[in-house]
Amino acid sequence: MSVYLDNAATSFPKPQTVLDAAGRVLEGVGASPGRGAHRYAREAMAIVSDCRQKVAAILGVKDPDQVVFTKNATESINLVLKGWLRPGDRVLYSAMEHNSVARPLRKLASQGVNIEVIPCNAAGVLDLGVLAQMLRSEARLVVLVHVSNVNGALMPVAEVSEMCAHARVPLFLDAAQSAGVQSIQAEDLGIGMLACSGHKALLGPPGVGILYLRPDLDVLPLMEGGTGSRSEELEQPEFCPDRYESGTPNLPGLAGLCAGIGYILETGMNHIRNHEIGIANYIENELLQIPGVRVLEPQRRGSGAVSFVVEGMNPADTGSILDQAFDIAVRTGLHCAPLAHQTLGTFPEGTVRVSPGFSTTNENVEYFLNGLRWIVTRRG
């Protein structure tokens, strides 16, 4: 049996409809959307528009034009941080952030942006009291991960958003792990910016990132270029989404993403969430019964990601053995989130992370648990 438990990195396998949609574009459309008035270009543009509408709907955004497509969530995050923050600005970000946030902020700090970490406790729970104090001084932005990619911990977005609104500071939500499994009503929540990827729980192919920008926030673009609009002007268009979408987009990726969201809506996001979180809770409970295994339990679970360590073993070795002896794919190490692992006390070796997906079966889970039990028993 071959078992894939790395859906937090990218979902696999994709629904057949996703493969079909991406393949149809490559076979039958192929044109660059918005570049030309011929039938193929019009059809390509319709695919992009359709995808934008579906993304807007699933993120709780009324105007699809406020949805921007990038190449991945990291690009979306860079776009916001580098297009919004200026030297002298103060930005607050949680101690559970991914390197997609931490690294650009480190770069910006070297250019004069003041970066401050909102502390979380050893279980990854954000300290709202400290955040309230931090928000008493002027800040330009608060960055918060919606669901931790390390252990699936769900962060208190509604509370933080309310605090940010009160302090008149935009909240930038990293929804890379939550979009597709958690219901996100970005506008109702008052979120300023939201970034996520299309290839994780939204079930699309790799190569598409998503960014929602509230209309009142003047974020500068990362780059300029051809947009297929107002081509007579040498200035970059000022309207969304063209302001941020220079160059030919990833049409097969967008078609696949559109099909992925279609699959979620058809199946029901609640159903998928209950399936993945139900499996995660079961895995967590079973792991807790295995002596010598330490589980990083989140206080509130927001995704199917479960992190653990076999005491005394480098997580990379545990992952290697699961792969080599049992053909089980898990993610080990720091998960590109050293800050989160420092917070959770698992730096520098990290953890073993298992993340089930919509198609993970009970048989897959038992096979994984038996493999891990063999490792622990054999280690003695």
Partner 1 sequence: MNLGEEPEKLPLDQVASVSAGVYDRSGKMLEQHQWVIRERPVTLYLNGREMVTLLCTGHHLDELAAGFFYAEGFLRSVEDILSIDIDDEAGAVNLSARGDSSITEGLWQKRTISSGCAKSSLFYFSLDALLSKPVKNDIRITPGRILDRVEDLNRLSETYRRTHGVHNTALADLDRVVLFRDDIGRHNAVDMIVGHVFLHGIPLRDKMLITTGRLTSEMLIKAAKVGIPVVVSRNTATSLAIELAVSLGVTLIGHARAGKFTVYNGQESIDVGLPG
- Positions touching partner 1 (CB under 8 A) are 312-317, 319-321, 323-325, 331-336, 348-350, 374-375, 378-380
**Cβ contact 41:30 at 8 Å:** no
CB of 99 to partner 1, least distance (A): 10
Instruction: State the minimum distance, in angstroms, from the CB of residue 375 to partner 1.
Output: 7
Q: How far is the CB of 332 from partner 1 (least distance, A)?
A: 6
Is 201 or 330 the residue whose CB approaches partner 1 more closely? 330
Residue closer to partner 1 by CB (options 16, 320) is 320
Taking the complex as a whole, the smallest distance from the CB of residue 7 to partner 1 amounts, in Å, to: 17
Least distance in Å: CB of 314 to partner 1? Answer: 4
**Nearest of 335, 318, 330 to residue 365 by alpha carbon:** 330
Cβ atoms < 10 Å from Cβ of 355:
30
* Shortest distance in whole angstroms from residue 345 CB to partner 1: 14
Residue 150 CB, nearest approach to partner 1 (Å): 12
User: For partner 1, which is the closer residue by CB, 182 or 318?
Assistant: 318
Beta bridge partners of 307: 353
Q: Residue 350 CB, nearest distance to partner 1 (Å)?
A: 4
Instruction: Decide: helix, strand or coil at residue 331.
Output: strand
Nearer to partner 1, 2 or 324 (CB): 324
Pick between residue 134 and residue 375 the one whose CB is nearest to partner 1. Answer: 375
Question: 375 with 322: CB under 8 angstroms?
Answer: yes
Q: Which is nearer to partner 1, 168 or 378 (CB)?
A: 378
Q: Which is nearer to partner 1, 57 or 336 (CB)?
A: 336
Q: How far is the CB of 318 from partner 1 (least distance, A)?
A: 8
Q: Determine the Cα–Cα distance for residues 162 and 156; give it in Å rounded to an integer.
A: 10
Neighbours of 123 (CB within 10 A): 15
DSSP string spanning 48-73? HHHHHHHHHHHHT-S-GGGEEEESSH
Alpha-carbon distance of 21 to 335, in angstroms, equals 30
Nearer Cβ to partner 1 (207/319): 319
What are residue 353's DSSP bridge partners?
Answer: 307, 331
Q: Are 50 and 288 in contact (CB under 8 A)?
A: no
In terms of Cα–Cα distance, which of 294, 21, 15, 338 is closest to 148?
338
Residue 171 CB partners (closer than 8 Å, separation 6+): 142, 144, 157, 160, 161, 164, 165, 190, 191, 192, 193
State the alpha helices, DSSP H only, in the chain: 16-24, 39-59, 73-84, 99-109, 128-134, 157-167, 186-189, 251-267, 269-288, 315-326, 338-344, 362-379
Residue 144 φ then ψ, to 5°: -140, 135
Q: How far is the CB of 335 from partner 1 (least distance, A)?
A: 7
Compare residues 282 and 374 and give the one whose CB is closer to partner 1: 374
Residue 154's φ and ψ, nearest 5 degrees, are -90, 125
Measured from the CB atom, the residue of 215 and 312 that comes closer to partner 1 is 312
DSSP 8: T
